């Protein structure tokens, strides 16, 4: 194995997105990740998403979060399955689960039970609302957390405009954010185990908590000022101009980070007098006078194509970019250079498309060594490798 985590053993007993995303990152970094699923049905996302043209293979959703893993099936409802899992836990560094709060206690697979078996175990529980509190027993999926965290209240078309109202972010952002936080927490707990305490610990991670934390500066704006964040469409709530504008052919996103950039932007647009107007000299002033500033900028931007504006703005250090669909993203020369879209040999021998891990280590590169596994594909292999048992 390669990567920075080559001797790490991870049991991934999670489903859907948040937990599998976390475990995939650890697998990308070289950990030996074993995905534990229910016999016969397995992870729910094996039945969510799209399949290839002939209808075969795993779904797109499963493929997105389950590479670099081996898969086994265990029936933890039976004593034999529980015993096998405990034997695997004894050989593990990390155990990740996303059962309802307290749901594994009846099987003797809760943190208290497994840490007694393996005191060095880092046990990460990922749930919707956490291990305690009035909502702890409740189920939940990404749209619920986007709604309850406040994310949807700041996402969508502003009031008073056509189509006004809250919108979902276009992917399962609460799951992905929770997966990132889980990865960070696991690595921190492992570091503490290996450098300070010699023992593992329990990580209690809630999707609702993670999504609230991910609001970062937007939530802090409210706490500091008392002002309620609003839906701003494709615009910023704290900077202007920082939004999408129409051009002669397609929308262009423009992001002005300071007054010097605003002056350069106006020169390129042929509006050199605007920065001297007291209504627009500072970002605070521009925010207060958006109703007069933005129409003037929009009118000027209609004179050229998005590509022409991008080239001109790049020359003066003003950030801009087109609003791409995924076809355009894949063809972008920078994206191609960074090899963000790659192919992995699939189970059937055909190339399997994938999105690369964005981390580039200088000495321990990410190794795309395993395609997403079939249900139970490696049960015998893992039991032999970890426990020395025959089939």
Question: Measured between alpha carbons, how far is 226 from 51 in angstroms, rounded to an integer?
Answer: 47
**pLDDT tens by residue, 211-230:** 999 999 999 999 999 999 99
71 touches 375 (CB < 8 A): yes
Question: Measured between alpha carbons, how far is 278 from 289 in angstroms, rounded to an integer?
Answer: 10
**pLDDT tens by residue, 134-183:** 999 999 999 999 999 999 999 999 999 999 999 999 999 999 999 999 99
The neighbour count for residue 110, using CB atoms within 10 Å, is 18
The neighbour count for residue 41, using CB atoms within 10 Å, is 11
- Tokens 């695997």 belong to 88
Q: Output the six-digit token pair for 356.
A: 């690369």
Residue 52, pLDDT > 80, answer: no
Residue 259, pLDDT > 60, answer: yes
Q: Which of 175, 194, 259, 348 is catalytic?
A: 175
pLDDT of residue 1: 56
pLDDT of residue 54: 62
Active site residue 175: yes
């Amino acid at each position: 194995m390669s990567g920075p985590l080559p001797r790490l053993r991870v049991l991934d007993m999670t489903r859907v997105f948040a937990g599998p995303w976390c475990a995939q990152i650890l697998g990308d970094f070289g950990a030996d990740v074993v995905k534990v699923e229910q016999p016969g049905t397995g992870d729910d996302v094996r039945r969510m998403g799209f399949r290839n043209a002939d209808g075969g293979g795993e779904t797109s959703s499963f493929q997105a979060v389950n590479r670099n893993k081996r898969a086994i099936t265990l029936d933890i409802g039976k004593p034999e399955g529980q015993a096998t899992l405990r034997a695997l836990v004894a050989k593990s560094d990390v155990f990740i689960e996303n059962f309802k709060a307290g749901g594994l206690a009846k099987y003797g697979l809760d943190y208290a039970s497994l840490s007694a078996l393996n005191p060095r175990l880092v046990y990460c529980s990922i749930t919707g609302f956490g291990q305690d509190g009035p909502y702890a027993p409740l189920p939940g999926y990404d749209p619920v957390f986007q709604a309850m965290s406040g994310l949807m209240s700041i996402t969508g078309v502003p009031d008073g405009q056509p189509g006004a109202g809250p919108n979902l972010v276009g992917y399962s952002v609460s799951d992905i954010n929770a997966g990132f936080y889980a990865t960070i927490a696991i690595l921190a707990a492992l570091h503490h185990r290996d450098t300070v305490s010699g023992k593992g610990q329990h990580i209690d991670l809630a999707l609702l908590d993670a999504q609230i934390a991910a609001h970062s500066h937007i939530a802090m704006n409210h706490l500091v000022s008392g002002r309620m964040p609003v839906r701003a469409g494709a615009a910023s709530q704290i900077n202007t101009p920082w939004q999408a504008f129409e051009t002669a052919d397609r929308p262009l996103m423009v992001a002005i980070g300071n007054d010097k950039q605003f002056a350069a932007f106006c020169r390129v647009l042929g509006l050199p007098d605007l920065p001297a107007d007291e209504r627009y000299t500072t970002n605070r002033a521009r925010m207060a006078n958006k109703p007069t500033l933005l129409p003037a900028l929009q009118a000027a931007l209609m004179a050229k194509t998005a590509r022409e504006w991008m080239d001109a703005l790049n020359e003066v250090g003003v950030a801009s970019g087109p609003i791409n669909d995924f076809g355009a993203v894949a063809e972008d020369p920078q994206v191609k250079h960074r090899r963000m879209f790659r192919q992995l040999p699939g189970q059937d021998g055909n190339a399997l498309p994938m999105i690369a891990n964005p981390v580039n280590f200088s000495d321990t590169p990410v190794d795309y060594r395993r395609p997403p596994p079939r249900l139970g594909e490696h049960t015998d292999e893992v039991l032999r490798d970890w426990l020395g048992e025959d089939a």
